[in-house]
Chains A and B, each alone.
Chain A
Amino acid sequence: DVKVTQSSRYLVKRTGEKVFLECVQDMDHENMFWYRQDPGLGLRLIYFSYDVKMKEKGDIPEGYSVSREKKERFSLILESASTNQTSMYLCASMINTEAFFGQGTRLTVV
């Protein structure tokens, strides 16, 4: 079974903090993705990576950055958290065009 693991289920951070969301996959997949999921807005792609150290902006990259130093780990960074970044964050890895999702991190910025 493919495992995609996000480091936290719930996070509460203060406005202005630097926030790291970690995602690890155990199947040597090349493609990894970060989405945010909001009611009525579906899944919106923040960033994705198709190889180590390679990244591309998704549809809503503003306020976020990513890091992929190793194939199995893809990190999402909120440089200075704001209340409008309160959301459910989903990580996924892909093999043969099938995406496998983590359990999600519900981030609340206060």
Chain B
Amino acid sequence: AQRVTQPEKLLSVFKGAPVELKCNYSYSGSPELFWYVQYSRQRLQLLLRHISRESIKGFTADLNKGETSFHLKKPFAQEEDSAMYYCALSGGSNYKLTFGKGTLLTVNP
């Protein structure tokens, strides 16, 4: 079975502060990990994936297989980062895609 856990439902920070959204996963094989974001009144969209090892909108995420974690980080939060963030895992030959419960990030001015 594959499972994604996001321990924080809500996260509130001030503009310019660092932000970290936590994600832990459970999967017996080699998973692919993703962060998806949903801005207000917009569709859910891919933010970044672990295999790309890239920074998108200042966000990075490192896969830690030892701790089975894939935390999302940004050194200086911006107000436009306010959104719902979902961690997701894809595994198996049929690419089943499983999401966590999401973390609502609010960046205050």
Contact = CB atoms under 8 A, between A and B. Distances in A.
Asked if A pairs with B, the answer is yes
Interface of A: 31, 33, 35, 40-45, 48, 50, 56, 58-59, 90, 92, 94, 97-104
Interface residues of B, number: 23
Contacts of A44: 99
A8 B97 CA distance: 24
Nearest to B6: A42
Contacts of A104: 43
B70 interface: no
B9 A33 contact: no
A56 B94 contact: yes
B46 to A, nearest CB: 5
B99 A56 contact: no
B20 interface: no
Given A42-B100, A48-B97, 11 more contacts: A31-B97, A35-B99, A42-B101, A45-B98, A50-B94, A92-B97, A94-B95, A97-B51, A99-B46, A101-B43, A102-B43
A25 B7 CA distance: 33
A103 B45 CA distance: 11
Interface string B20-58: 000000000000101010000001111001010000000
Nearest to B51: A97
A98 B96 contact: no
A42 B102 contact: yes
A102 B44 CA distance: 8
Nearest to B1: A59
Contacts of A42: 6, 86, 99-102
Given A97-B49, A99-B46, A101-B43, A40 B97 contact: no
Contacts of A33: 97
A59 B98 CA distance: 9
B90 interface: yes
Contacts of A35: 99
Contacts of A45: 96-99
A3 to B, nearest CB: 11
